[in-house]
Amino acid sequence: MTTTMLPPEAAATLHPADLAALLELRPAPAAWEVLAALPLARRAETFGYLAPETQTGLAAIAPPRALAELVTAMDADERADLWARLPEAAREALGPALAAAEREDIRRLAAYPPGTAGAVMTSEYAVLRPDLTARQAIEALRGQAASKETIQVAYVLSPQRRLLGTVTLEDLVLAAADRRVADLMRTDPPCVHATAPAEQAARVVARYDLPAVPVINGGEAMVGIVTADDAMDVAEAEATEDFQKAGGTGGLEAGLRAAGVALLYRKRAGWLVALVFANILSGAGIAAFEETIAAHLSLVFFLPLLIASAGNAGSQAATLTVRALATGEVGLSDWGRLLGREVLVALALGLTMAVAVSAIGLWRGGPEIALVVALTMVLVVLAGSLVGLSLPFLLDRLRLDPASASAPLVTSIADVAGVLIYFTMAAALLPMPGG
């Protein structure tokens, strides 16, 4: 099906995610025309699958009344996210068209800082009293279902909205009709504070295999839930940001497709310019050993190979460490244990690579060159691996993002170390003319 022709009957049968993918390829006026022809509930669901920048663009051209209807029908968390992205003038125009309940809900959810659990939670969750029977609880959930994100899990609250426990719909259906919710609920469920990082909520959802994790405020009152689908979005966004930082670009908030030339230039230029000056140290190291290089020109053949091996080993170690720190698998206290293990792994890798490169060394320069190259290979792989492992821990200790231990940074440090190690070994082990 082409993106220029989208019959109404096709739009009505496509899954909202698939329809949103097609609308992303259409100009904003044409996309809004398709959306406006859909029933309101389906329109809101499809709108929720659109990229943030697409949502903002459509909101700018939508008629005020139609936009107000759409915002009212959206899920609470998606509504708050859209509100936060709208220009101030658009908010002032939209606000009066919304009901008081929606305005208050938006104000409350939008008050949490970006990147926190509160910023991605929804206030549309099912609530039960502990004194209800199973039959009464099912009836209560039936009445709440239309306006809640999920009723798979209901949250049992005190009159002060303290979280007493959770009960699943399955528990209620299988229980005797006169069993009380207080007897069926699971007490002390996992929860997160509203000001905690959103990634923490995602980790709790994944660790305990929850459909949603409850969110509480500073007063221990429940204020919302982070659902599994929102947790997946958070995890995906965090992984994407880490990958971008690992490439030395920083986070592209709008995504690669929407990023302009100026944004891509700003994100990439800083690291590249800084690393130009860092790599001057490699040139200075080579210059310091001009006599050794002049006496043994075959050393130059192995220079790219050795420094690349150091950088590759460092990048591997850094990637594994950054990811483990990001997921909470390891912490600062694990550095010493991991360092000892990395020494053993790096030595094994270095020795394996040294055996391979020594044969080329014999062919290109004889046994003396082969010895220098083989010993250097072991040392540069060891140095690169230890830099790649330790730099993320150092940045984490300094309260900086470990993902900033990017491949370009680790590679540059390993390059400088590789040059110095290589020519120091050569100067120490190779004879000099007249020496």
pLDDT per position as a tens digit, 96-125:
888 888 888 888 888 888 889 998 999 889
Q: What is the CATH number of the domain that holds 307?
A: 1.10.357.20
DSSP E strands, 74-135: 127-128
Answering whether pTM is above 0.85, one says: no
Q: Region 178-195: what's the mean pLDDT?
A: 94
Element (H, E) at 186: strand 186-187
Question: Do 358 and 401 sit in the same domain of this protein?
Answer: yes
Q: How confident is the model at residue 9 (pLDDT cuts 50, 70, 90)?
A: low
Domain presence at residue 120: no
**Mean pLDDT for all residues in the chain:** 86
Tokens of 403: 């993902």
- Taking only the tens place, the pLDDT of each residue in 397-411 is 888 777 765 667 788
pLDDT band at 70 (very low <50, low <70, confident <90, very high): very high
The Cα 234–Cα 239 span in angstroms is 9
pLDDT tens digits, one per residue of 321-367 = 888 887 778 888 999 999 999 999 999 999 999 998 888 888 877 88
CATH number of residue 29's parent domain: 1.25.60.10
Alpha-carbon span 91 to 149, nearest angstrom: 25
Q: What confidence score (pLDDT) does residue 245 get?
A: 62
DSSP state of 113: P
* Residue 156 or residue 332, greater confidence: 156
Q: How confident is the model at residue 258 (pLDDT cuts 50, 70, 90)?
A: low
pLDDT at 65 over 60: yes
Residue where a domain stops, chosen among 111, 145, 166: 111
Residue 351: what pLDDT?
95
Residues 283 and 405 in one domain: yes
Q: Rounded to whole angstroms, what are the CA distances from 264 to 38, 51, 52, 236, 254?
A: 37, 19, 18, 21, 11
Is residue 435 situated within a structural domain? Answer: no
Does residue 93 form part of some domain? yes
Q: How far apart are CA 348 and CA 369, in angstroms?
A: 21
User: Does residue 276 carry a pLDDT above 80?
Assistant: no
Provide mean pLDDT across the span 68-75. Answer: 89
- The whole-angstrom separation of Cα 396 and Cα 394 is 5
Do 226 and 269 have their domain in common? Answer: no
Report the pLDDT value the prediction gives residue 131, as an integer from 0 to 100: 94
Amino acid 132: pLDDT:
96
**Contact call for residues 6 and 22 (beta carbons, < 8 A):** yes
pLDDT of 72 higher than 60 = yes
- With a pLDDT cut of 90, the percent of the chain lying above it is 43
- Give alpha helix (H) positions in 74-99: 76-85, 88-94
Q: Does residue 230 register a pLDDT over 70?
A: yes
| 345 and 391 part of one domain | yes
Asked whether residue 250 is domain-assigned, the answer is no
Domain shared by 415 and 288, yes or no: yes
313 pLDDT higher than 80: yes
Q: What percentage of the chain exceeds 70 in pLDDT?
A: 89
Residues 322 and 422 in one domain: yes
> Is 104 contained in some domain?
yes
Structure tokens at 49: 């699958």
- Report whether pLDDT(3) > 50: no
What gap in Å lies between CA 23 and CA 11, rounded to an integer? 10
Number of domains in the chain: 3
What pLDDT digit, counting tens, does each position of 417-430 carry? 999 999 999 998 88
Indicate if the pLDDT at residue 264 is higher than 90.
no
At 192, which amino acid appears? V
Do residues 218 and 273 share a domain? no
SS3 58: helix
In a domain, 163, yes or no: yes
Q: What is the arrangement of strands in the sheet containing 222-227, beginning at the earlier edge strand?
A: 192-193, 212-216, 222-227
pLDDT tens digits along 376-402: 999 999 999 999 999 889 888 888 777
Q: Assess whether pLDDT exceeds 50 at residue 4.
A: no
Give the pLDDT band of residue 1 (cuts 50, 70, 90).
Answer: very low
Look at residue 333 and tell me if it is in a domain.
yes
More confident residue, 334 or 76: 334
Report DSSP letters for 419-433, one per residue.
HHHHHHHHHHHS--T
Domain that holds residue 293: 261-429
pLDDT at 85: 86
pLDDT band at 84 (very low <50, low <70, confident <90, very high): confident
The answer to whether residue 220 scores a pLDDT higher than 60 is yes
- Does residue 392 share a domain with residue 275? yes
Residue 256 lies in a domain: no
